[in-house]
Amino acid sequence: MPWLGLAGSGYSLGHSASDDLKSTNPAVVLQAQKVGDLQQQVDAQEKAYSDQKDAVKDRERAVDKQKEEADVDKK
């Protein structure tokens, strides 16, 4: 089980990334900063994806409305 390796690495259930940013070990701080940067990128991508899905739904609604108006015009 790979998670068993964490027991000897100093991590506990209460460990957080902000603890790493306060570390006296520069390598740990650097890695924590990289993790934070990557998390911001993931968050931005997830928001962009969500925004795109919303835009697609809006376009689909507009198309449906145009179809309904065209059907009314045909009658």
C-alpha torsion angle, residues 61, 67, 72, 75 (rounded to 10):
-160
pLDDT at 1 over 80: no
Q: Widest CA span of the chain, in angstroms?
A: 76
C-alpha distance across the termini of the chain, in Å: 68
pLDDT of 3 reads 47
Q: Are 51 and 42 in contact (CB under 8 A)?
A: no
Segments making up each domain of the chain, as ranges: 13-74
Per-residue model confidence (pLDDT) at position 43: 96
Determine the Cα angle at 14 with ends 13 and 19, to 5°.
125
Q: What is the pLDDT of residues 30-71, one digit of tens each?
A: 999 999 999 999 999 999 999 999 999 999 999 999 999 998
pLDDT for res 30: 93
Q: Rounded to two decimals, what is the model's pTM?
A: 0.59
Q: Are 61 and 53 in contact (CB under 8 A)?
A: no
